Structure 1
Amino acid sequence: MEYKYWEHFFRIHIYTGIKYVYLVQVTFCKGSIPNRIVLFLGPFFLVQLELKALELEDYWFCSKVIVTDPEGRQWLFPCYQWLSPKKKTILREHLRQCDCVRCVSCRWSVYDSEIPHIVQVDSASGLPYEVRFSFTKEKEFQHLLLRASDHRHHNRRCLYCLLFPEYIKKHWMNDTFFGYQFLNGLNPMMIKRCSKLPNNFPVTNDMVKSALPKESSLEKEMEKGNIFLCDYSRLGGIVGNVIDGIQQYLAAPLCLLFSNPQGKLLPIAIQLKQKPEAQNPIFLPTDSKHDWLLAKLFVRNAEFNEHELNFHLLRTHLLAEVFTMATLRALPSVHPLFKLLFPHIRYTLQINIMGRKLLMSAEGIFSMSCAIGLKGMITLMRRATASLTYSSLCLPDNIKERGLENIPHYYYRDDGLKLWNIIHKFVNGVVAHYYTDRDVQEDSELQTWLTEIVEHGIPKSFHTVAELVKFVTMLIFTVSAQHAAVNNGQFDFGAWMPNFPSTMKAPPPTTKGQATADSILAALPDVKHTLKYPFGYYPEELFVEAVPLQKMEQFRQDLKALEGEIEARNKNLELPYDYLNPKNVDNSVDL
């Protein structure tokens, strides 16, 4: 095409030296203007696109710019963003520092000073076009919300959609299934090994000896590593919400569990409040079945709050928002980290904006349907943020810190560690191609990116390639695999409300022997108060070099191999664990 024809649409400026004839190919979405132009330009180091105002449409989506010299050599300038007459878009082909390419339209805001910061946008229309949902994706999300409101949920595992609710209806009261969920249910993150009882949980050997092997004791089982604890102290002191004029209640339990010789994890003692006293009895499996069941229901309600607000909302969605903001603000599109991370962050801001309205507003779910309410939600999230550490986000470190290396049938650990290693191998292959330790320290854009994350999310610093690889592995694992682990089973484990109650309409019992079937039913919530791209797929051609492209292909092959391994194991399980099967893991938190 002639250059004058293109001048009606936009200007291309290539910063050059000596003049040569170059063929510039600009790829737009289907149905747009022709995509080739001959320019008389010379050696260059960046491209500036400036869209002219049009009468019909003011925005054009540009995928990439390819420049070919007379010898046939090509340079790729990834774009993958909407061009607007209101701004100039500058693209770089290599790592020359250039402050002008950052996304200054993404600004930080503070939802609460003691939790991770968020984007300063109230609706999706305020986001840059390139990080908004497409029309198709937005309609899909709205369809999912409609289905969820009708007590159905998006779930690709159709067989399991039928299996889980029926299984849970039959087994939700069983101690074996109650214990199983701490390992492979919605929230495999609370349980930790107990080598010494907390001072505020005075369980004696006489209380639990009937649950332990003969000739053994609580002390001996703790020494063997068979005793585990779930402590919900972050819920302590939070006053329940008032819903429809009715006071709601929640507890801050301590739950002791025993991994028996048969490999079953069983609850052996539950205390519903943090302070030991006469009005705070320790409930045991030997108590009446109604007392024991009511105690377990309060634990499951505590699980609801910790899962939804700490391990799902805070530790995946809100951290993903920090990672996204830092990436958009600090890294230009040509930066190798931007190319590596963009598929994992692209729609994070919009899903979180929509989620805040759905969950965290005055008319949202936590205000209208949950015992914790908005005020309690903020209190819990502040406490959870204060306990957030970098090592707790790194699965290998987290497993060691919680002492869970050897507990049997912990499929979240087994599958998660394999996924972590596959991601780490891929990230190391890409990052090591571009960086030495000195490069990490001297890359000002990289250090700015990290500073943004530290100031608005989690504390961490790094100076070597190995530290950078681990950090990026943590980031990708958090927004993909970890999110899948705590998100994809919400229908499976929560569709049967007594297994995952969002609120309790009666206070925690202060004495034993008072619970009945009717009192348990009265304590449960009313019915009205109950409630992508696949992993390894990179749709945009952001990388052009042979090494990262080869690493991507190997990454996909490793994920496929793990998929087969998990499916083979699941054939022999009564209740398959499929949440970290790579085919069920999305690239990001946008579903």
Structure 2
Amino acid sequence: MVDYEVTVYTANRTAATTFNNVFIKLVGTSGESERKWLFNLKGASAFVRGAVASFTVSCPMSLGKLVLVELDKKPLLLFPEDSWFPAKVEVKSPDGDIYNFPVYRWISDSKVHRFREGTALKGFEDSHHLGRYSREQELKQRQKDYCWDVYVEGIPHCIKTDGPSSLPPEVRFSFTKQTEFLFTASTGLAELKLKGLVDNKTNWTNIDDIDRVFCCNIFLCDYKRMDGVKANTINDEKQYLMAPLVLLHKTPDDKLMPIAIQLKQKPAEDNPIFLPSDSEYDWLMAKIFVRSADFSEHQLNVHLLRTHLLAEVFAVSLLRNVPMVHPLHKLLIPHTRYTLQINFLARNRLISEEGVFTKFSASGGEGMITILRRSLSSVTYSSLCVPEDIAERGVKDVPNFYYRDDALRLWDTINRFVRGILTYYYKTDAEVQQDSELQKWILDIFEHGFLSQPCPGIPQKLTTVDELIKFVTMVIFTGSAQHAAVNSGQFDFGSWMPNTPISLQLPPPTKKGEATEETMLKTLPDVNTTVQGMATLWLLSQQSSDFAPLGQYSEDHFSEETPRQMMANFKKELAALSAAIKERNKTLEVPYTYLDPEEVENSVAI
């Protein structure tokens, strides 16, 4: 007889405990063990939250190189079946070899669940018949669990689900996240002491009233995607949304300032060009219309489409097409955390028929779909890749552009990490080309994310290692750094409503010299619209207590020493970048913190 020492780690997370009987089977290249009941002196406490329990599994002879373990559990008589969240299983062979089996999955039933040994394997490298079989079965089940759905024709597809509770357990919010996060504007209204204003449908009567409730800023460009969009109706009143053109000028003291604003795309007699030299309220009104257009452009194109919706496509395609043992799955799975549930909640409570954005934004409803479709048709691969995007937009030399500075450094740091991991597993371009799981992943993204449209540069297949590295860098950057950049500062810059009006109630001025404080106040959104928008921005800017910073990986999916060392180096590089950003920020009147790696989450989780 030979003995295998089996150590089972239960995750240290809420509700991870099981009191069911747990069984294991070891499967190797030379045979498999009997199904073994895991029982030791710890008894019922062996599988409580955070527990580490060791057991002996005896076999008549060596099993050879271990390929997988099978885990299942059975409830005790008169006891209910519960859910268990094992982190990993570690097995020491009679020869002293250590095998690591990452799990990180909820086991809620009595079925047999198979988990591969942690060494990453691409499909064409998986030579053991049971390994190939488990790989195939895993993906078959995943394609049942993670189905595509069409929320609205013409925008990226999403996961098919009836609600958070019908999502597979491993992608749902943790208990901590769930209890802290109620995706409803009433939370923000209460926290911001604005409850009494939520039913107030009157206009603002004085600019000082807004100052007392809120607290100012600015940024600009060409808003052609808003042209001709049908504006919403709020509180039974037609709203207005312009498509401005803004000319900016770099001043001698390195400030980027607007010097001309045209509120509609085409020149006309009733479409004057407003200048800083115009009357105070003419120039102020022009800027307010620009900032209102910026709200819709930012929320629908920059934020919703280019981070949330694309991140969901990347995640669903990964879960449908790439098994846990694949190196790409191990690399990307931390960057999908909570994304599917947060997006369901956004569709259900922000952009649904009764959602806050739909009801209270000028671009809500029909206009929202128009803008999203236009935005998707304008996406290019280079616009998703920061170095190319910065160059193409001609903003390499814009002063005080801290997003550019920090984003480029973060892109480079992520790219070096991704290059290290992927070149460890892919030695030649031919290996990329023959990896069918990888190719299915990229094709699914093209078909369901970009709707098979000829978006310039978006790949349908990957033919070289360098192409793979660039695409994976973009995927990680989009779901982490880019989302942080466009999400985290929303309340900071939008909480004083005139700086980011969610909607406007009067059409823009058609002549100069007619705007007054009274017309400005009548143009700004009603009180209840203002506070609903403010509460939503507050909610979206909140950080959960189980926030996972970029590069902080709590689950050990990689077993090999080389990628584990690369992960440690990535963490050190991010820490150094964080320190550099903090040092730079000491010199700024308004620190730019949104791309400090300590403030960037691994995934789209809020």
- Specify if TM > 0.5: yes
Separation in structure 2 between the aligned mates of residue 19 and residue 297 of structure 1, nearest angstrom: 73
Residue from 243, 251, 259 that aligns with 2:234: 243
Corresponding position of 2:495 = 495
Separation in structure 1 between the aligned mates of residue 515 and residue 20 of structure 2, nearest angstrom: 78
Separation in structure 2 between the aligned mates of residue 24 and residue 12 of structure 1, nearest angstrom: 5
Corresponding position of 1:131 = 171
CA drift at 1:573: 1.3
Corresponding position of 2:522 = 522
Q: Which structure 2 residues correspond to residues 70-85 of structure 1 after superposition, within 5 A?
A: 70-85=94-109
Is 1:9 the counterpart of 2:21? The answer is yes
Separation in structure 2 between the aligned mates of residue 411 and residue 580 of structure 1, nearest angstrom: 9
CA drift at 1:472: 1.0
Tell me if structure 1 keeps the 8 A contact 2:19–2:47. Answer: no
Q: Secondary structure of the equivalent of 1:80?
A: coil
Is 1:448 the counterpart of 2:470? The answer is no
Cα deviation 1:341-389 (Å, max 9, x = unaligned) = 1111021001111111221111111222111121110110000011111
Give me the CA root mean square deviation: 2.8
Tell me if structure 2 keeps the 8 A contact 1:25–1:67. Answer: no
Tell me if structure 1 keeps the 8 A contact 2:327–2:425. Answer: yes
Is 1:577 the counterpart of 2:592? The answer is yes
Q: Give the direction of change, closer, same or farther, for the CA distance of 1:20–1:455 in structure 2 (3 Å limit).
A: closer
Q: Which has the larger displacement, 272-281 or 21-30? A: 21-30
CA drift at 1:75: 1.5
The letter for the 2-side match of 1:376 is G
Q: Give the direction of change, closer, same or farther, for the CA distance of 1:317–1:29 in structure 2 (3 Å limit).
A: farther
The letter for the 1-side match of 2:275 is L
Residue from 27, 30, 36 that aligns with 2:49: 30
Separation in structure 2 between the aligned mates of residue 167 and residue 468 of structure 1, nearest angstrom: 52
Tell me if structure 2 keeps the 8 A contact 1:22–1:67. Answer: no
Tell me if structure 2 keeps the 8 A contact 1:294–1:515. Answer: yes
Q: Give the direction of change, closer, same or farther, for the CA distance of 1:352–1:557 in structure 2 (3 Å limit).
A: same
Tell me if structure 2 keeps the 8 A contact 1:168–1:493. Answer: no
Is 1:412 the counterpart of 2:429? The answer is no
Q: Secondary structure of the equivalent of 2:513?
A: coil
Q: Give the direction of change, closer, same or farther, for the CA distance of 1:22–1:152 in structure 2 (3 Å limit).
A: farther
CA drift at 1:534: 1.3
Corresponding position of 2:129 = none
CA drift at 1:564: 1.4
Separation in structure 2 between the aligned mates of residue 558 and residue 515 of structure 1, nearest angstrom: 53
Separation in structure 2 between the aligned mates of residue 71 and residue 526 of structure 1, nearest angstrom: 75
Separation in structure 2 between the aligned mates of residue 49 and residue 296 of structure 1, nearest angstrom: 62
CA drift at 1:51: 3.7
Separation in structure 1 between the aligned mates of residue 527 and residue 67 of structure 2, nearest angstrom: 62
Q: Give the direction of change, closer, same or farther, for the CA distance of 1:537–1:59 in structure 2 (3 Å limit).
A: same
Cα deviation 1:427-478 (Å, max 9, x = unaligned) = 1111111112222111111111111111111431322221111111111111
Separation in structure 2 between the aligned mates of residue 48 and residue 7 of structure 1, nearest angstrom: 18
The letter for the 1-side match of 2:30 is I
Corresponding position of 2:10 = none
Separation in structure 2 between the aligned mates of residue 293 and residue 568 of structure 1, nearest angstrom: 36
Q: Which has the larger displacement, 9-18 or 295-304? A: 9-18
Is 1:140 the counterpart of 2:180? The answer is yes
Q: Secondary structure of the equivalent of 2:101?
A: strand
Q: Give the direction of change, closer, same or farther, for the CA distance of 1:25–1:348 in structure 2 (3 Å limit).
A: farther
Separation in structure 2 between the aligned mates of residue 148 and residue 167 of structure 1, nearest angstrom: 17
The letter for the 2-side match of 1:512 is K
The letter for the 2-side match of 1:137 is K
CA drift at 1:78: 1.0
Separation in structure 1 between the aligned mates of residue 560 and residue 229 of structure 2, nearest angstrom: 54
Is 1:457 the counterpart of 2:457? The answer is no
Tell me if structure 2 keeps the 8 A contact 1:15–1:47. Answer: yes
Q: Secondary structure of the equivalent of 1:472?
A: helix
Residue from 12, 25, 42 that aligns with 2:63: 42
Q: Secondary structure of the equivalent of 1:361?
A: coil
Q: Which structure 2 residues correspond to residues 333-348 of structure 1 after superposition, within 5 A?
A: 333-348=324-339
Gaps of 5+ in 1: 154-164, 183-229
Is 1:100 the counterpart of 2:115? The answer is no
Tell me if structure 1 keeps the 8 A contact 2:73–2:109. Answer: yes
The letter for the 2-side match of 1:308 is Q
Is 1:118 the counterpart of 2:166? The answer is no
Q: Which structure 2 residues correspond to residues 190-339 of structure 1 after superposition, within 5 A?
A: 230-339=221-330
CA drift at 1:76: 1.4
Residue from 80, 91, 100 that aligns with 1:56: 80
Separation in structure 1 between the aligned mates of residue 589 and residue 109 of structure 2, nearest angstrom: 59
The letter for the 2-side match of 1:478 is T
Is 1:553 the counterpart of 2:599? The answer is no
Give the number of aligned pairs: 524
Separation in structure 2 between the aligned mates of residue 33 and residue 411 of structure 1, nearest angstrom: 46
Q: Give the direction of change, closer, same or farther, for the CA distance of 1:236–1:11 in structure 2 (3 Å limit).
A: same
Question: Could you tell me the TM-score, scaled by structure 2's length?
Answer: 0.81
CA drift at 1:90: 2.4
Cα deviation 1:406-442 (Å, max 9, x = unaligned) = 1111110001100111111111111111112222111
Q: Secondary structure of the equivalent of 2:88?
A: strand
CA drift at 1:10: 4.6
Q: Give the direction of change, closer, same or farther, for the CA distance of 1:32–1:256 in structure 2 (3 Å limit).
A: same
Q: Secondary structure of the equivalent of 2:587?
A: coil
Q: Give the direction of change, closer, same or farther, for the CA distance of 1:84–1:426 in structure 2 (3 Å limit).
A: same
Q: Secondary structure of the equivalent of 1:133?
A: coil
Residue from 376, 379, 393 that aligns with 1:402: 393
Is 1:67 the counterpart of 2:87? The answer is no
CA drift at 1:166: 8.9
Separation in structure 2 between the aligned mates of residue 587 and residue 7 of structure 1, nearest angstrom: 33
